[in-house]
Structure 1
């Protein structure tokens, strides 16, 4: 991609998995990737266990708020990553779609959320390697 790639993370409540994924991508990519997240039925607040799990690795997501998934966000994104939201995400030609099967952290304690956080990090690192390949001399 010759322009700055954009990624949209979508889950039902936009309170756990998608917020952690967006936090990891912002942290690891800096301003090299545009990051969005949304939910098909957004919660009122971000999951406190997700906030705590991310804080443990030095990533602050306390300023994030769950947002409703809108068609414009999908249209403006190069990559759309869904996390258990079923068919709620509109499909547009030319977009890259991935469905990440991840445990839902809703209602779970920090001990259950940490492995989800770590799995998301691994997936983000692979995504970044694909979106921003290192140029070799």
Structure 2
């Protein structure tokens, strides 16, 4: 793993789970990790309930927009994490692939998105410890 690993989060619409995961990773890891997110069939906008759920924990995702998954984004990432998008993510040798089983927040209210947000935070915190642990000093 390079000094600054790169992580790509992928879900179908890049409007909920992958956006929350990218926001958590940027928030918790800071500049220790390069963060990307994309969707196999991007939505027109980020899920408003996901934006509100993240705002509740002090993270502003209001400026984010769904992005289309590209081969270049996968190629440039060390770790690719999929969330319910099946086989849409291209596979390249030497990459680490994880699939996080998470409920889809699409069409859900903020109350239903909160537990998904909290589970993503736990998964992201574990990922950080694995790929970019804090160094002493």
After TM superposition, the score normalised by the length of structure 1 is: 0.97
Corresponding residue SS for 1:37 = strand
Residue 109 of structure 2 corresponds to residue 109 of structure 1: yes
Q: Which residue in 1 is equivalent to 2:24?
A: 24
d(CA) in 2 for partners of 1:136, 1:49: 38
Q: Which residue in 1 is equivalent to 2:8?
A: 8
Pairwise mapping of residues 6-85 of structure 1 onto structure 2 (< 5 A)?
A: 6-85=6-85
Q: How many residues align?
A: 137
RMSD after superposition: 1.1
Structure 1 segments of 4+ aligned residues over 3 angstroms from their partners:
134-137
Q: Deviations over 1:4-42 (max 9, x none)?
A: 100000000000000000000000011110000000000
| Residue pair 2:4, 2:132 contacting (<8 A) in 1 also | no
| Residue pair 2:103, 2:116 contacting (<8 A) in 1 also | yes
| Residue pair 2:80, 2:95 contacting (<8 A) in 1 also | yes
d(CA) in 2 for partners of 1:2, 1:43: 32
Residue 133 of structure 2 corresponds to residue 133 of structure 1: yes
Unaligned runs of 5+ in 1: none
Q: Which residue in 1 is equivalent to 2:89?
A: 89
Unaligned runs of 5+ in 2: none
d(CA) in 2 for partners of 1:135, 1:24: 20
Give, in angstroms, the shift of residue 80 of structure 1.
Answer: 0.1
| Residue pair 2:45, 2:65 contacting (<8 A) in 1 also | yes
d(CA) in 2 for partners of 1:116, 1:21: 10
